[in-house]
Chains A and B, each alone.
Chain A
Amino acid sequence: MRCFLSLFCPEIDEDRLAKLVAWCDRYSPLVSRDGSNGAILDITGCAHLFGGEDDLLFDLQRRLERMGLEAHAAIADSWGAAWALARYGGHQFIVHGASQTIAALDGLPVEALRLPENTVWELRRLGIVNIAALRRMAANSLTTRFGPVVVQRLQQALLQAEEPLTPWRPPAVYRASRMLAEPVSTVGSVEYVLQDLLREVCGKLELNHLGSRHMDLACFRVDGTVDRCEARTSKPNRSVPHMMRLFAGNLEKLWANFGFETFVLSVCDAEPLYPLQASLASNELEQGESFDLLVDRVGMKLGFGEVNRIVVRESYLPEYATAFCPAASASIPASAEWPEYRVRPVRLIDPPMPIQVSVSIPGGEPVQFLIGRQNHRVVRCEGPERLFAEWWRDPENTDRSRDYYRVEDEQGMRFWMYLDATRTSWYLHGHFA
């Protein structure tokens, strides 16, 4: 006979629920979220670790209370019964055995059976309000009218049908585990085991032309608790030494206490990674790889959020036209298509440098200008490219525009300069090659 604990937190939000489910790991390895405001634990064989079911419930509720979470929990032989009791059971928390279960459920409303909303509504308008009334109906009559769901839920709750539980931790793509005869507690021995595990999973990955961005090592202590460490990469990877390097920094943070007895290495995701033909001239490959390795190593050190690359943004104003995005992100946002005729220099002068310009009349185009003491005479000039301010950024000062000119001086130097909204000040904003 299995034993389930249902947890119901009426006010919880998505975020806290996810955390709660992970936290419930302490009571049982088989935990899953249950709807939008609850969790279900298969505590078969776990209760004694906490001094029995009463004590487990007490411990759970005390801890949740301390976290400031309103929670109701109940234990029963089936998921369905535990669910019903946690939500509608009143003061009944622990129920075992078929007859006790039926007695406990009979008075509860039909909603307690996890039925679809409209089925509940249909049952109610027939006057079938509680589970006792529902049990009086013939099973095949119910199935004709409401489909198999009503009978199924009833049977599940009353221990007449099985209901498996899918634990919250997504099943790993590949996993490898080592159980040691003697617990270990030094970094060196953990490294040794890890290397062994990595060889196994990376071999499997290579065989299937896959690589992984995320691996997770679970280290089970003698006392049944778990510590974890993980390694992430920016690109799919299956190189043992590389992964070792990435894990290395984190292994030191593990706390062995009485020692680890079991290690499980899980490959959390996998993407296609085809074997590369080593080029004969053979430096490119390494360069490319070493760049990725660099990103990974810097990322593991500083956090991947800190390593960025530059993308083009859709903004006419040069200072807003580029943006940083995390280098390791799986999907790098597509850079905007830049209109070809809007020519921009590679580097901007930041902030733009004020310059003295004399202009032609009436055209208003630059004729000569001073940078420092150096006088430049304009030989060629193109423009203006008039750009309106992104007015929504500064609502008090919306009517601004700049006129950009590309100019070439007598020495063939090319400059990018603009006349600002005041119509009197000029700035140098970049050089063209």
Chain B
Amino acid sequence: MRYAELQTSSNFSFLRGASHPQEIVNAANEYGHYAVALTDRNTLSGIVLAHSTARKLKVRRTQFIVGCRLDLRNGQSLLCYPTNRKAYGNLTRLLTLGRRRASKGECWLDLADVEEHSEGQELVLPFPQVLTTQARAHIEHCANAFQGRIHQALTHSCRGDDRQWIASVADFAHTLSLPVVATNDVLYHEPGRKMLQDVVTCIREKCTIHEAGFRLEANAERHLKPGNVMARLFAQWPEALEATILLADRCRFSMEELRYEYPEEIITPGLSAFEDLRIRTLEGAKVRYPDGVSEAVHRQIEHELKLIAEREYAPYFLTVHEIVKFAKSKEILCQGRGSAANSLVCFCLGITEADPIERKLLFERFISAARNEPPDIDVDFEHERREEVIQHIYEKYGRDRAGLTATVVHYRTKRVIREVSKVLEISQESPTPQKELALQLMRQLTGFPRHLSQHVGGFVIARGRLDELVPVENARMKDRTVIQWEKDDIDELGMMKVDILALGMLTAIRRSFHMLQKHYGKTVTLASIPSDDEAVYKMLQNADSVGVFQVESRAQQSMLPRLKPKTFYDLVIEVAIVRPGPIQGNMVHPYLKRREGREPVEYPSDALRDVLEKTLGVPLFQEQAMQIAIIGAGFTPDEADALRRSLATFRHVGTISSLRERFLQGMRANGYSDDFAERCFSQIEGFGTYGFPEAHAISFANLVYVSAWIKCHYPDVFCAALLNSQPMGFYAPAQLVRDARDHGVKILPIDVNHSGWETTLEHIEGDARCAVRLGLHMVSGLAENEGKRVAQVREESGVLYTSPEELARRTGSNHRTMDRLAQADTFASMNTGRRQALWKIGAVEGKLPPLFAATTADLFQEPDADLPAATDSQEVVADYLAQGLSLRNHPLTFLRRKLKAKRAITAAELKVTPAKRMVIVAGLVLFRQRPGTAKETMFITLEDETGAVNLIVWKQVHEKHHKAVVQSQLIACWGEVQREGQVLHVVARHVWDWSPMLQGLDPDDSAPAIRLRSRDFR
């Protein structure tokens, strides 16, 4: 019996459907359904997945129909199926309209909106469970409004009186000459998902399964049913079954018809896109190579242009060029990342900063002839100014043509456990069968889409209206619009995407350049710094890298002295090697050994020699791993890419093990050892999510070098720039300031009479180097506009403030602002200490108009109060509370006597302690790190008044002292000193929580004195 299922909700109807779109399409195909339509609620998010599943079916019997269930504001619904491309555009525009005027996640549509966009649509009224007057009116209205292209659905839900009920609905439809069509209003592809559907219903309704009552379905009938079952249920209404086929035949629109077109207005008038690109590239080449464009460069440009022309990618390059040009015109620092750095055209256009010729990079890695999908250029911008670029794109192309890509946020294990346990009221004490059932449901729910979020920066720009291609909705952030599809959907449809990413280090570098210009008269650009400065490499070899891009993490810091970078390419390797890919693949130690000459450089075969020569025979970059799959295991480039992708996303679950088999077999067949093959595969696994291609490592290494250069030669500039660019990087301001002081930079305290909003540099008589004056932005909790006004009023009048009250009067600052300023001890220049200032500002209430304020202040002239003086340790505690750091003393100096009594040694003493010795160290916790590559091991960095100490806490110790390891602010640890070259660790045997000692810092206080926020990384 031929049957088409026209009403299905997948899990993209969030918390309603209980099957993936793929499962629905596959199941329909197995039943041999004539067609299946996906009708999720007010969304088309799932249709690309369904479409591509249908397209890839091995035996294809089922046609996929694009559809949508429109839930209207009056509580009624309509199913809508576009019959052609134009109607599809109408539907996406309708959804855009509804989504854009509602807040995120909602959709406001009225019947009038549907009528307006109904051209070319086939409509179906869902089957009602009761016919209220309102429902009758809705059906009558729709029957008239959409005459000739509307059906009434009939659904057999086994509710008992189905025959009579269906008959009465059918009769009512008949009186309106409304044809009927059978559907099963599917919520899951097979009945086994009924329980999961109950669970998601409870999550949606925020109730437990016991409270859910009639909100659950009475039975498990809403699954896909084979044609013969449907035929039996609708034996009395054969016309309803026949109608499914007729209707399916009319809904001929296919996703294949969507053609994405690049925007064209960026093209210089009178030129074709390609001609324009060629001219711009050649002009750019002249700038990049001022000494003349060599033959090799010329040949490469022509080669790339040829490929670009073949693929018609010219408009894409032009679009990216236009965005980069805009950024540069606004002096927003930017740099292309990722594989785009393989392209000389990108280099000439100024999109990337590394010369691919010099670095011997291959263009084919960027645009491969085999991979028929658009190139992906990702560009990093300063994190503080990226929004300007984004708004520029909206402005230039309009919101109807540009939108951010969505990211589907999936249910992850942690959340699944929480939600399902809540619904089923499962606890540790629950009986085993119950727990097992819960576990089974948790497994099913994991990976379900939960909601749409915005991609970090992936923009889709179209020539025509974007909202005729895909529905556009509001993002949570103001002024952002997001399309309903995610990156993979876009790739699937061959649409162009530009990633506008944010990078904090670019902000810091731009600020540094600015300060270099202002205070040292030096003009510097990303490209102009000589890349062979020995002092810079020397500094990095000593792991002196606090604040330096990428290589400041603890893992990088312990790698630097081992790798001893001497050239730029060493930095490239440094960036690439401390990644989960090489670490998981056990590539790090062989590489280091070969580099130090302790192991001969060998190649698994001559064929792989070319691939691995750069890295001494050890694969470190993503493309090397891919090349091994191609050359070593005989994969086609397409397969290798599919392999990488299958590891990266949720979508292709289940294919990994078969690909793994293939890979290992291929390697064996080509005569490679199993061990090597296994390692390569686990490396590819690592790369799937966190791999760096060589070109990307080069782009990053560029920033590593530039930031290291600034730190090396201008530590004052570096410190100020980093402080102004917070939050970014690994270290908190306290460590950055400390590091700068260790490098001889003078740091001046925040002061309302000297500080600007930002941290600035001050020239000091007789010193070539500037001092860093901490800015008001360091005062925690101070509003930006308030802080700026304090600096502005002072600067504009040129008169210093004389007292806290006077400052309040002149600036009109409110009580909160004054409180923050006083708490941060910023009135020192007027001889007013923290407590006096706090007392004085206590009388300043609210924001008074200046005139009035003047009189009240005079009226309430109070004498100075008799306040107890603060001790040094109290001052330090207060500093930490108000600005997260103290220039006075390290908190541990006050505890040193006590610590010594407990036999704890300082970080400085540790440095001269021989290896294997057992010691006790104690310090404030800076970081806790639990890298994905070493799941059970915890790396902790402590700090005392003399420096930092690195702890390694193995699994057993961690388990034994879990609370102390995870919760303490002041950790003490007894362990063994371990040395590897310059790298020094303490391997913990016992860990204590000494945080209570911090309370002793302020003898007056019983509450925890310093609440240090350690930065914990996973």
Most-contacted residue by chain A among B212, B232, B868 (CB, 10 A): B868
Partner among B217, B823, B867 whose Cβ is within 8 Å of the Cβ of A127:
B867
Contact flags B840-853 to A (C-beta < 8 A → 1, else 0)? 00110100000000
Chain A contacts for B839, CB-based, 8 A: 126, 145
Given the contacts A384-B158, A384-B160, A395-B434, A126 and B219 also touching, CB distance less than 8 Å: no
28 contacts between A and B (CB under 8 A): A124-B1004, A125-B838, A126-B835, A126-B839, A127-B869, A127-B874, A129-B1004, A136-B866, A137-B866, A141-B865, A144-B842, A145-B843, A314-B214, A337-B214, A341-B130, A341-B159, A341-B160, A342-B160, A382-B164, A385-B158, A385-B218, A386-B219, A386-B221, A387-B219, A388-B194, A392-B424, A392-B437, A395-B434
Partner among A129, A145, A391 whose Cβ is within 8 Å of the Cβ of B195:
A391
Chain B contacts for A396, CB-based, 8 A: 433
Chain A contacts for B130, CB-based, 8 A: 339-341
**B456 proximal to A (CB < 8 A):** no
Within 8 A of A (CB), among B71-127: none
Contact present for B865 and A125 (CB under 8 Å): no
**B642 proximal to A (CB < 8 A):** no
Contact present for B160 and A406 (CB under 8 Å): yes
Contact flags A336-359 to B (C-beta < 8 A → 1, else 0)? 110111110000000000000000
Chain B contacts for A384, CB-based, 8 A: 158, 160
Q: What distance in Å separates the Cβ of B424 from its nearest Cβ neighbour in chain A?
A: 6
**B796 proximal to A (CB < 8 A):** no
Chain B contacts for A432, CB-based, 8 A: none
**B870 proximal to A (CB < 8 A):** yes
Q: What distance in Å separates the Cβ of A104 from its nearest Cβ neighbour in chain B?
A: 20
Contact present for B437 and A398 (CB under 8 Å): yes
Contact present for A398 and B195 (CB under 8 Å): yes
**A425 proximal to B (CB < 8 A):** no
A136 closest partner in B (C-beta): B866
Within 8 A of B (CB), among A394-409: 395-396, 398-399, 401, 403-404, 406
Chain B contacts for A124, CB-based, 8 A: 1004-1005
A364 closest partner in B (C-beta): B232
Contact present for B838 and A126 (CB under 8 Å): yes
Chain A contacts for B217, CB-based, 8 A: 388
Contact present for B433 and A385 (CB under 8 Å): no
**A362 proximal to B (CB < 8 A):** yes
**A313 proximal to B (CB < 8 A):** yes
Q: What distance in Å separates the Cβ of B857 from its nearest Cβ neighbour in chain A?
A: 12
Chain A contacts for B1006, CB-based, 8 A: 109
Partner among A128, A314, A383, A395 whose Cβ is within 8 Å of the Cβ of B867:
A128
**A369 proximal to B (CB < 8 A):** no
**A315 proximal to B (CB < 8 A):** yes
A179, B221: Cα distance in complex, Å: 74
Contact present for A125 and B160 (CB under 8 Å): no
**A27 proximal to B (CB < 8 A):** no
A127, B870: Cα distance in complex, Å: 7
**B234 proximal to A (CB < 8 A):** no
Contact flags A221-244 to B (C-beta < 8 A → 1, else 0)? 000000000000000000000000
Given the contacts A128-B867, A385-B159, A313 and B213 also touching, CB distance less than 8 Å: yes
A138, B860: Cα distance in complex, Å: 13
Most-contacted residue by chain A among B161, B165, B434 (CB, 10 A): B161
A245, B575: Cα distance in complex, Å: 90
Given the contacts A125-B823, A392-B209, A395-B437, A382 and B424 also touching, CB distance less than 8 Å: no
A149, B775: Cα distance in complex, Å: 36
A383, B194: Cα distance in complex, Å: 21
Within 8 A of B (CB), among A298-346: 313-316, 336-337, 339-343
Given the contacts A392-B424, A395-B437, A386 and B210 also touching, CB distance less than 8 Å: no
Size bracket of the B interface: 35 or more
**B878 proximal to A (CB < 8 A):** yes
B161 closest partner in A (C-beta): A341
**A69 proximal to B (CB < 8 A):** no
**B306 proximal to A (CB < 8 A):** no
Given the contacts A125-B835, A388-B220, A362 and B232 also touching, CB distance less than 8 Å: yes
Contact present for A133 and B436 (CB under 8 Å): no
**B163 proximal to A (CB < 8 A):** yes
**Size of interface on A: residues with Cβ below 8 Å to B:** 45
Chain B contacts for A404, CB-based, 8 A: 160
B210 closest partner in A (C-beta): A392
**B862 proximal to A (CB < 8 A):** yes
Chain A contacts for B164, CB-based, 8 A: 382
Partner among B163, B194, B213, B1005 whose Cβ is within 8 Å of the Cβ of A314:
B213
B437 closest partner in A (C-beta): A395
Nearest first, the 5 closest Cβ-Cβ pairs linking A and B are: A314-B213, A385-B160, A145-B842, A386-B158, A395-B437
Chain A contacts for B424, CB-based, 8 A: 392
Within 8 A of A (CB), among B985-1013: 1004-1006
A383, B770: Cα distance in complex, Å: 89
A404 closest partner in B (C-beta): B160
A229, B198: Cα distance in complex, Å: 50
Chain A contacts for B867, CB-based, 8 A: 126-128
B871 closest partner in A (C-beta): A127
A249, B160: Cα distance in complex, Å: 53
Q: What distance in Å separates the Cβ of B591 from its nearest Cβ neighbour in chain A?
A: 52
Contact present for B860 and A144 (CB under 8 Å): yes
Chain A contacts for B431, CB-based, 8 A: 395
A341, B163: Cα distance in complex, Å: 12
Q: What distance in Å separates the Cβ of A16 from its nearest Cβ neighbour in chain B?
A: 25
A397 closest partner in B (C-beta): B433
A401 closest partner in B (C-beta): B219
A403 closest partner in B (C-beta): B158
Q: What distance in Å separates the Cβ of A3 from its nearest Cβ neighbour in chain B?
A: 30
Contact present for B220 and A382 (CB under 8 Å): no
Within 8 A of A (CB), among B171-208: 192, 194-195, 198
Chain A contacts for B869, CB-based, 8 A: 127
Within 8 A of A (CB), among B145-171: 158-161, 163-165
Q: What distance in Å separates the Cβ of B907 from its nearest Cβ neighbour in chain A?
A: 31
Within 8 A of A (CB), among B215-229: 215, 217-221
A339, B867: Cα distance in complex, Å: 74
A415, B964: Cα distance in complex, Å: 68
Chain B contacts for A386, CB-based, 8 A: 158, 218-219, 221
Chain B contacts for A383, CB-based, 8 A: 160
Partner among A146, A382, A387 whose Cβ is within 8 Å of the Cβ of B161:
A382
Chain B contacts for A109, CB-based, 8 A: 1006
Contact present for A395 and B436 (CB under 8 Å): yes
Chain A contacts for B214, CB-based, 8 A: 314, 316, 336-337, 339
Within 8 A of B (CB), among A105-147: 109, 122, 124-129, 133, 136-138, 141, 144-146
Q: What distance in Å separates the Cβ of B623 from its nearest Cβ neighbour in chain A?
A: 50
Contact flags B404-442 to A (C-beta < 8 A → 1, else 0)? 000000000000000000001000000101101100000
Contact flags B801-845 to A (C-beta < 8 A → 1, else 0)? 000000000000000000000010000000000110011001101
A392, B436: Cα distance in complex, Å: 12
Partner among B159, B192, B870 whose Cβ is within 8 Å of the Cβ of A342:
B159
Contact present for A395 and B160 (CB under 8 Å): no
Given the contacts A314-B213, A339-B214, A342-B159, A129 and B868 also touching, CB distance less than 8 Å: yes
A403, B433: Cα distance in complex, Å: 26
Chain B contacts for A137, CB-based, 8 A: 865-866
Most-contacted residue by chain A among B434, B874, B1004, B1006 (CB, 10 A): B1004
Chain A contacts for B215, CB-based, 8 A: 314
Chain A contacts for B823, CB-based, 8 A: 125
Chain B contacts for A401, CB-based, 8 A: 219-220
Chain B contacts for A125, CB-based, 8 A: 823, 834-835, 838, 878
Chain A contacts for B220, CB-based, 8 A: 388, 401
Contact flags B355-386 to A (C-beta < 8 A → 1, else 0)? 00000000000000000000000000000000
Contact present for A343 and B160 (CB under 8 Å): yes
Contact present for B165 and A341 (CB under 8 Å): yes
Q: What distance in Å separates the Cβ of B676 from its nearest Cβ neighbour in chain A?
A: 48
Chain A contacts for B129, CB-based, 8 A: 339, 341
